[in-house]
Amino acid sequence: MAIGALAFQQQQRRRRWISLCLLLFFFVHVDVARCFYLPGVAPQDFQLGDELKVKVNKLTSTKTQLPYSYYSLPYCPPEKIVDSAENLGEVLRGDRIENSPYVFKMREPQMCNVLCRVTLNAKTAKAFKEKIDDEYRVNMILDNLPLVVPIRRPDQENSIVYQHGFHVGLRGQYAGSKEEKHFIHNHLTFTVKIHKDPVTELSRIVGFEVRPFSIRHVHDGQWNEKTRLKTCDPHAKTLVTNSETPQEVEDKKEIIFTYDVNFEESDVKWASRWDTYLLMADDQIHWFSIVNSLMIVLFLSGMVAMIMLRTLYRDISKYNQLETQEEAQEETGWKLVHGDVFRPPSNPDLLCVYAGTGVQFFGMIVVTMMFAVLGFLSPSNRGGLMTAMLLLWVFMGLFAGYFAARLYKMFKGAEWKKIALKTAFLFPATVFAIFFVLNAVIWGQRSSGAVPFGTMFALVFLWFGISVPLVFVGSYVGFRKPAIEDPVKTNKIPRQIPEQAWYMNPAFSILIGGILPFGAVFIELFFILTSIWLQQFYYIFGFLFIVFLILIVTCAEITIVLCYFQLCSEDYLWWWRSYLTSGSSALYLFLYAAFYFFTKLEITKPVSGMLYFGYMLIASYAFFVLTGTIGFYACFWFTRLIYSSVKID
């Protein structure tokens, strides 16, 4: 009986393990293939005739990168403009969500609704023309879904891509004229896609599309609220289906804004309604490029690891077999510098600060990536990703202070408050200074992307009120810990470093070391830059997490390899070089950003170019700190490991 019960328990335990493995496989498979999606808000059900309120968001342009409020142009305003509450991330992104005069009723189509009539003057006509020249788009929101324009791809049949928002207008010429004119999209045909429950008759919104038209509306007599349009009259079955008689933008021109609303039933369920927005146009190329990049990097990493293990095993075995004094005197290679390898570097305080800041970045990215992979930071939660990263950065200051103080104490430092202060201010102050200058430039352009005073105060409070105290707490705890002991003793007199071969020159080896980590991320970097600067959604966090893991492995291994070659050349100045070796990948990132700017973007204004390179400089600086820290700690672990594994006489 006991044997039978034991066998039954083992069988049950085996089944639970199999179930757990299958469950993990399912989640990983779903995440990599289509990103496991947890919607950030509860679905809202609508009955027949329920009011649907459309909200307007910022005007955006890929040519200027400067967002503007919707009502910065003389569009039809509601009776009272009300701002929606925005989170920190939304404000930093330049989102300005406001109410609008567009009001729909669930499953009740509307034709030729007149919104308002506007007569342009020289100033308003100029404002519209400037936005049309810069290809600005109008963004709207219905039930938390952004407005899209469906566009058929000419190269593929039955293939539709979705453009976020509709253009303010377009430029063109009248037939027989060479003079270019500006025309405004003043008629919108909305299509609200709904998923209806056949039992309860309740509907959920699963799509929000528009087709914009430019039409010069015509009416009889003086304008009043009851005036009927000749160009758009549902009673006469006259509907707007094209832009053959467009509405020109000029001083003293009359513009009448109208719209239609259609409701279309869809098989798409509410939980899958974001799939349309997250679908990438060149998904096959994306998948192939990512997999190809990962395979190459994994193959190179495997080769590096195999060479290192074989070489080190032979070296350590040889050194441990040395018994006589004569043999010991004939030693060559990395063991010769054992008395200097743990000598503190030049400017150790700065190294401690950067190492601590890198740990802060690493913690922030790992936790953010975990939440993103699980779907908690989906695009339906606008600004959620940026808000989460900011808050995590602030709270990870605890680890920054701890690791900086631990390293500082190992270097025989005594003033832990000084290192805590430097860690709390060096990197954030540099980034804040660049950000402040860029924000001043945006203010000068009167863009909604400028961070208001209240938000700036909130950022300063997060820095001084939470991050700085946490850094000091971490430093205090780290400094109270016992100092890290070196595996070998350091000589009092520094050893002279022999002349190095040209390929072991610090600048050359540092620049070579950054190529492989950059190679691990540059394919994914293209899609990330596209999502940021061409205003597309990025939601392939499963792949991004894999790329991040590959980046960690690559930074660690390339730094260890070059550090080993350096020590074999009897050069023991590895502290800063290990940080700069993998950190140099940030230089390639910035160069790639410059290449992307000149080949993929159509930015022509100097202010917009300044914004692009300013923000990419911040991103490259952060990437330098992250990759440098990964390489440094990998090399730190490696040197301690090999020098504690050999017999030192």
The residue behind tokens 């200058």 is 437
**How many residues does the structure list for the chain?**
649
Q: Report pLDDT for 628.
A: 95
**How far, in Å, are 22, 167, 179, 236, 622 from residue 242 at the CA level?**
54, 15, 22, 17, 49
Burial 595-632 (b: 16+ CB within 10 A, else e): ebbeeebebeeebbeebbbbbbbbbbbbbbbbbbbbbb
Q: How far apart are the C-alpha atoms of 11 and 598, rounded to whole Å?
A: 63
Question: For the range 31-35, what are the long-range contacts, defined as Cβ-Cβ under 8 Å and sequence gap of 24 or more?
Answer: 31/373, 31/541, 31/542, 32/542, 32/543, 32/546, 33/542, 34/275, 35/278, 35/373, 35/375, 35/539, 35/540, 35/541, 35/542
**How far, in Å, are 107, 324, 517, 629 from residue 112 at the CA level?**
16, 100, 57, 61
Backbone angles phi, psi at 148, to 5 degrees: -130, 155
Q: Report yes or no: 562 and 489 within 8 Å, Cβ to Cβ.
A: no
Q: Report pLDDT for 401.
A: 95
Q: Report yes or no: 483 and 411 within 8 Å, Cβ to Cβ.
A: no
Q: Report pLDDT for 16.
A: 40
What's the burial of 172, exposed, middle or buried (CB within 10 Å: 0-12/13-18/19+)? middle
Q: How far apart are the C-alpha atoms of 506 and 563, rounded to whole Å?
A: 11
pTM, entire model: 0.85
Q: Report yes or no: 372 and 386 within 8 Å, Cβ to Cβ.
A: no
Q: Report pLDDT for 647.
A: 60
The three-state DSSP-derived secondary structure of 24-65 is: HHHHHHHHHHHCCCCCCCCCCCECCCCEEEEEEEEEECCCCC
Q: Report yes or no: 575 and 70 within 8 Å, Cβ to Cβ.
A: no
Q: Which amino acid is at 586?
A: A
Q: Report yes or no: 440 and 369 within 8 Å, Cβ to Cβ.
A: no
Q: Report yes or no: 133 and 171 within 8 Å, Cβ to Cβ.
A: yes
Angle between helix 384-395 and 397-410 (nearest 10): 40
* Side-chain-facing half-sphere of 273: CA atoms under 13 Å: 29
DSSP state of 347: S
Q: How far apart are the C-alpha atoms of 157 and 153, rounded to whole Å?
A: 7
- Other C-beta atoms closer than 10 Å to the C-beta of 15 total 10
* Side-chain-facing half-sphere of 520: CA atoms under 13 Å: 28
- Other C-beta atoms closer than 10 Å to the C-beta of 81 total 13
Residues of the chain with pLDDT under 50: 1-40, 323-331
DSSP state of 452: P
- Based on its alpha-carbon atoms, the radius of gyration of the chain, rounded to whole angstroms, reads 31
Q: Report pLDDT for 461.
A: 93
Q: Report pLDDT for 585.
A: 94
Question: 561: helix, coil or strand?
Answer: helix
Residues 6+ apart with CB under 8 A from 610: 438, 441
Q: How far apart are the C-alpha atoms of 374 and 385, rounded to whole Å?
A: 13
Q: What is the pLDDT of residues 54-69, one digit of tens each?
A: 999 999 998 988 999 9
**DSSP assignments along 100-139, one per residue:** EEEEEETT--EEEEEEEEEE--HHHHHHHHHHHHTT-EEE
